[in-house]
Amino acid sequence: MIDLRLLRDDPEHVRAAYERRGGVPGLDSVIALDRRHRELLAEVERLRAEQNRASRAIGRAEPSERERRIREAREVADRLRALEPRLEEAARELEAAAARLPNLPHPSVPAGAGEDDNVVERHSGEPPDLDFEPRDHVALGERLGLLDAERGAKTSGSRFVYLTGRGVLLELALVRFAVDLLLERGFEPVVPPVLVREEAMYGTGFLPAEEHEYYRIERDDLYLTGTSEVALASMHAGEILDDALLPLRYAGFSTCFRREAGSYGRETKGLVRVHQFDKVEQFSFTRPEDSWDEFEAIRANQETILQALEIPYRVVIMCGGDLGSSAAKKVDLEAWLPGAGRYMEVTSASNTTDYQARRLQIRTRGEGGTRLVHTLNGTACAVGRTIVALLENHQRADGSVTIPPALRPYTGFGVIDVGE
RNA sequence: GGAGGGCUACGCUAACCGGCAAGCGGACGGUCUUGAAAACCGUUGCCCGCAAGGGCUUGUGGGUUCGAGUCCCACGCCCUCCGCCA
């Protein structure tokens, strides 16, 4: 949710910011709904004040006066009863319309309507110099017995994969590696719930905008989360956090579920685009003035991890139109895949400023009263895709794969080969 | 799944038969002080308003009433016990 006061006081500022997203429909209607709501609110509050006065007078009145005063108060109550439903409807309409307005992009975000306007900021690491025809991760993974997509499809449908054998050991190693690194940097490990109430989805901005992307358990009215961000952000919903405790940093580890509706035919094989994967996620609650520093810290952690894993990547700044609803700025890291011959998103970092905090009512108390905190999230290690990048970049001519030294203490092996 | 108990502001706790949610603590601001402590005063969540002021807030949503923390209904969460269970 954006700040309606800002929209009220400086609508052109908001409009200009939304231009960088390629324009946001419904802005004028929110302004009109807000005005109508406030007019009704003022009128209802005037009547309530009158009613409160009348009611209090009854309590103090002489017995002989009571009958007459009750009749008078009843008349005010009737007028209120007629007006209140209109106020409630106006509030509902305003709420529904305002909830669809996305966050305001940060000034450093490039303007643009979609993917094509994203900006590659820089590259890091050299693509491996392979003197043979590189295999893609599906060929490597199947040959080495790390995954079984065919049986995944048999059991659960396409885009479900069994991770097997050393594929599992690789996952456990990556998870522990990422969690250890975050522990050193002040993040508290958390395994959050993956089934959440609608309020949690709504509060984090995944609803109403992206409803079709997530699984819903209708019977119990819960959603399966597509990232631990949802449950981590909701952890402190409705709380006022002690200013001295900020920043609060969590390293969430959970399975993530995505319906991938509308992606039929894209990346149908392997681990790149699946309905279920595991991920270590960074999530921070900060003072408003600290969030851009925290954003850089989260990004730095992501780069540290990819560099340690010796995966070449590029840094991509998302343009306004590719931000999603809650982010004010989003930066992805895309790993180079020699086998596939292209780049693939492996991490994403967002500063959602006060957008989620306003919806979830997460505040901090400091000098000058309470303020909304800022929330940030960023991948530490999306296990499936990281395995893809590891396999393709560290493959050898014979189809075996070496493990980067930084990860060996966690895997216990340095090479993955057939029969080993 | 069944039975019982509970939920009041930042924390802890009151409020008779329905009549302005009281008190203690914490935190913050101020007075006093060489500095501090103590003491005293003020503030404490949300909304509208330039302000004066007003409205909302007792887990959530409804209902009864001129008026609900209090009465009625539904739901959520926590605790105890029974059943089931990795």
Give me the interface pTM, i.e. the ipTM: 0.81
Question: Bigger pLDDT: A303 or A47?
Answer: A303
Could you tell me if residue A2 is inside a domain? no
A367 nearest nt, CA–C1': B28
- Answer with the one of A99, A131, A148 that is the final residue of a domain: A99
Where is the domain boundary, A68, A99, A130?
A99
pLDDT of A246: 84
pLDDT (tens digit, 9 = 90+) per residue, A381-418?
Answer: 999 999 999 999 999 999 999 999 999 999 999 999 98
Predicted local confidence at residue A198, as pLDDT: 85
What's the per-residue H, E or C state across chain A? CCCHHHHHHCHHHHHHHHHCCCCCCCHHHHHHHHHHHHHHHHHHHHHHHHHHHHHHHHHHCCHHHHHHHHHHHHHHHHHHHHHHHHHHHHHHHHHHHHHCCCCCCCCCCCCCCCHHHCEEEEEECCCCCCCCCCCCHHHHHHHCCCEEHHHHHHHHCCCCCEECCHHHHHHHHHHHHHHHHHHHCCCEEECCCCEECHHHHHHCCCCCCCHHHCCEEHHHCEEECCCCHHHHHHCCCCCEEEHHHCCEEEEEEEEEECCCCCCCCCCCCCCCCCCEEEEEEEEEEECHHHHHHHHHHHHHHHHHHHHHCCCCEEEEECCHHHCCCCCCEEEEEEEEECCCCEEEEEEEEEECCCHHHHHHCCEEEECCEEEECEEEEEEEEEHHHHHHHHHHHCECCCCCEECCHHHHHHHCCCEECCCC
In a domain, A13, yes or no: no
CA of A74 to C1' of B25 (A): 42
Q: What is the pLDDT of residue A142?
A: 93
Query: Residue A196 falls within a domain, yes or no?
Result: yes
pLDDT digit string (tens) for A242-267?
Answer: 777 888 999 999 999 999 887 776 77
Has A273 been annotated as catalytic?
yes
Residue A367 has pLDDT above 80, yes or no: no
pLDDT of residue A306: 98
- A299 noted as active-site residue: no
Quickly give A362 CA vs B45 C1' distance in Å.
12
Domains: count for chain A: 2
How confident is the model over A20-31, as a mean pLDDT?
Answer: 91
Residues A362 and A406 in one domain: yes
Q: Say if A223 falls within a structural domain.
A: yes
A105-125, pLDDT tens digit by residue? 999 999 998 889 999 999 999
Q: Are residues A264 and A142 in the same domain?
A: yes
Structural domain includes residue A37: yes
Q: Which nucleotide is nearest to A240 (CA to C1')?
A: B10
A39 catalytic per annotation:
no
Q: Strand B footprint at Cβ < 7 Å? A: A 4-5, 38, 41-42, 45-46, 48-49, 51-56, 58-59, 70, 73-74, 76-77, 88, 240, 363, 365, 367, 369-370
Range of the domain at A42: 25-99
Whether residues A89 and A191 fall in one domain: no
A212 shares a domain with A336: yes
